[in-house]
Chain A
């Protein structure tokens, strides 16, 4: 049984103009991510994996080609329309955690819900529940500076789930963590995939980390050079 595509990149090009020169960050990428899949995008720096992540995460639109999210073409949407799509369908986890320093853990988790117009009571309740899920129930009133790196990343995981998105996009989520905390964060991602049935796109340059995925897409010079199915999983 073939699963439904949730994100599909069709011959996507991204070209930046640097003065006179044109730099092609992506050169006609085709990528099809199915609902409930765990996909890792790997590649050395400069391979275009960040640009690819921006496309998958609806953070940017392609110069050429199409991006279909849930079958809907989002390649020509305005920034605000993209924001809406992101807010509802995609949860982000970043390498540098990217929590707002002035807000507490709970407030950080509540933030994406504010932009979706969810009322305050529900926000509070859901944020507390999500933080409990990432085992930070005791620390909901702590600010990011009062938390360790691993704890901050767990807050970010909770935040990515705030609007119950279908897709979780993790950009080098363990890049700033030691190997022990790395393992817990990866465990959480696995849990999200297996128990919550989330589609997970993991961008990394770490082979070990990428192994948790069902499929690894290797990127080089703006193109996918190899697709590797993970036989241990699925």
Chain B
């Protein structure tokens, strides 16, 4: 019985090609938009989660200011005293302070501005701190002393300077000569992939900053300790050393989990807004299906009469029209799914080409199944009223209809 309803619906599609096609486009656009947005959203989430996974969940980040974002123009800084206080908190395994500066970096006669990060290697080796920071040195070694630097991914692939920079090459940072002793692998966003890494000592000398101008502190928590608990302790200590009241903190303490949460919330809001907009087009697609189905019921009044005369019950007619409308939804949905997948792949390809490797396109099984199911439901809902109208037609009246 069901397969027969589907066959009947399919017959109508092929005989009303133009109208079917136009109706499909309505659903197609909506589903394509929703699918590509969800796919990219999922991909972005997975990409960022991957970065946090590299970082590990046993990290705490302390930044000056109450906003919690790294900002080299921030006039509020953390002091050495703050760093020492953090080090004294039980549960803290290691503390790495960092300085962020924008500097002119010259290579092979070409001068460009980029971030230069000074890394405190007094407690742990440069390599270890970098690794804890989620950045892997994949060529050469870390920087030592005051004349060595580790170059970022985009220097190596040659899309920052005209010429690719190689390990062993010389660069000038703010006029001072440095040698590239190592290079890091791709982080996945074009900004971080131009960060140049030097030692804290180099940075202090180069930028002429004192001990109390720290931009960023990363803390590794001892195994078995809860990062959130340790973070609370750090906040308490910092309030004391910086002499601020609770609620008026001029610093921000965040765990990896906090970052994830913040990020997920932002992503969720963005996704809801975008998918909401896409859903409107889906709604329009649904209305379009309803319109097509009403027209179809009108046009096929006589057919309905014939089918009723030869034994079709109201429920048969209802199902025939409902399935036809549901199938309009499904076919539009499948096409939309394909187009959405293509669009999403295209966007992620373009993003990768411009350095945003973390923008992936993901297709979890529930997205595929969900999109098809959802488009069927949209079609079926849109078809309910027209199908009902069709099923209620009196055979005598319907047969007389011309």
Contacts and interface: CB of A to CB of B under 8 A. Distances in A.
Interface of A: 54, 57, 59-60, 79-80, 83-84, 86-88, 92, 94, 98-103, 107, 111-112, 114-117, 120, 159, 162-163
Nearest to B13: A102
B309 A86 contact: yes
Nearest to B311: A87
Given A84-B313, A98-B302, A101-B15, 10 more contacts: A57-B309, A83-B313, A86-B309, A86-B310, A87-B311, A92-B309, A98-B309, A112-B310, A112-B311, A115-B310
B192 interface: no
B16 to A, nearest CB: 9
Given A100-B303, A102-B11, A80 B313 contact: yes
B295 interface: no
B395 A80 contact: no
B1 to A, nearest CB: 6
A79 B394 contact: yes
B11 A103 contact: yes
Interface string B279-320: 000000000000000000000001100111111111110000
Nearest to A116: B311
A117 B310 contact: no
Nearest to B10: A102
Contacts of B311: 83-84, 86-88, 112, 115-116, 163
Given A79-B394, A80-B313, A84-B313, A114 B306 contact: no
A190 B56 CA distance: 90
B4 to A, nearest CB: 5
Contact of A159 (B308, B310, B312, B315): B310
A86 B314 CA distance: 13
B273 interface: no
A153 to B, nearest CB: 14
25 contacts: A54-B396, A60-B396, A79-B313, A79-B314, A79-B394, A80-B313, A80-B314, A80-B315, A83-B313, A83-B316, A86-B308, A86-B311, A87-B310, A87-B312, A88-B311, A98-B302, A99-B306, A101-B15, A102-B15, A111-B307, A114-B1, A114-B4, A115-B307, A115-B311, A120-B4
Contacts of A112: 310-311
B12 A59 contact: no
Contacts, number: 72
B396 A115 contact: no
Contacts of B206: none
Nearest to B310: A112
A25 to B, nearest CB: 11
Nearest to A112: B310
Nearest to B402: A96
Interface string B52-91: 0000000000000000000000000000000000000000
Interface string B311-333: 11111100000000000000000
Nearest to B398: A59
A101 B16 CA distance: 12
Contacts of B4: 114, 120
B399 interface: yes
Contacts of A117: 1
B310 A102 contact: no
Contacts of B394: 60, 79
A214 B299 CA distance: 40
Given A83-B308, A102-B12, A103-B11, A115 B314 contact: no
Interface in B1-56: 1, 3-4, 11-12, 14-15
Contacts of B315: 80
Contacts of A86: 308-311
Contacts of B310: 86-87, 92, 111-112, 115, 159, 162
